[in-house]
Homo-oligomer: A and B are copies of this chain.
Amino acid sequence: MTQTNRNHWVEGASADASIREQLIAAAGEHFSTYGYEKTTLADLAKAIGFSKTYFYRFFRSKQEIGEAVCSQVLGTILETIDEELAKAPSAPEKLRRMLRTIPKMGMELFFQERKLHDVAATSAAEQWESSVHYWERLSEMLRSILQQGRDGGDFERKTPLDELTRAILMAMRPFIDPRVLQFHLDFVPDGSNEVIALVLRSLAP
């Protein structure tokens, strides 16, 4: 491949990626107004001003674009947790911040972008890749904080780390799973903070 060819290829790929990003952003806008369930791919293409065929160059189905929108929404929560973790001085404080950020951002999504919250709920219900990936990332983050707390002598070391990670996320599930959070809106932040305190007590060495 000559230099020119490679550049051309890279530019082509990058232009495609950029169009894809724009389509995802436009789809996010559309879903946030009209909702995911009620929108067809034809509606979406028409609203954004592209042909359905053009859409199919970038996404194989409505679900695939829903996935992409959902990944962005959940990605924002993961990024915010990362920022919070960077500011926290100790493992217990990292745990507290991680577990507080999730219901806080879940509530914001629910009240400010209800229709995007519903996309996240659909993703959880149908176990889309975006939702599975989100859960995996939360598990990895939590596991790493727990390991750090064990290494530093802040947390007990007897319970298997995998069990601990699962049990904490399960206990916090009323505030993590978007399908379930809607039944617990009145319990954020007091109820969620009480569960977080319980979790921290359970980790005492």
**Chain B residue contacts of A179, Cβ below 8 A:** 183
Q: Is A180 an interface residue (CB 8 A)?
A: yes
From the candidates B167, B183, B195, B204, name the one contacting A167 in the complex (CB within 8 A).
B195
Once bound together, how far apart are the Cα atoms of A24 and B25, in whole Å?
Answer: 55
A168 at the interface (CB under 8 A from B): yes
Which of A159, A202, A204 has the most CB atoms of chain B within a 10 A radius of its CB? A202
Number of identical monomers bound together in the oligomeric complex: 2
* Closest residue on chain B to residue A190 by CB atoms: B166
Does A79 make an interface contact (CB < 8 A)? Answer: no
A142 to B171, CA, bound (A): 17
Main secondary structure of the interface of A (DSSP, over half): helix
Q: List B contacts of A187 (CB < 8 A).
A: 170
Chain A, interface residues (CB within 8 Å), range: 20 to 34
Give the distance in Å from the alpha carbon of A180 to the alpha carbon of B187 in the complex.
Answer: 15
CB-based contact A170/B163 at 8 Å: no
Rounded to whole angstroms, the CA-CA distance of A163 and B194 in the bound complex is 7
The 21 sampled A-B contact pairs (Cβ below 8 Å) are A125-B183, A156-B201, A159-B197, A163-B194, A163-B197, A167-B191, A167-B194, A167-B197, A167-B198, A168-B198, A170-B191, A170-B194, A170-B195, A171-B171, A171-B172, A171-B195, A173-B184, A180-B180, A199-B202, A201-B202, A204-B204
Extra contacts, 17 of them, besides A167-B197, A170-B195 (Cβ < 8 A), are A163-B194, A163-B197, A164-B198, A166-B191, A166-B194, A167-B191, A171-B171, A171-B172, A171-B198, A173-B174, A173-B184, A174-B180, A177-B183, A180-B183, A198-B199, A201-B203, A204-B204
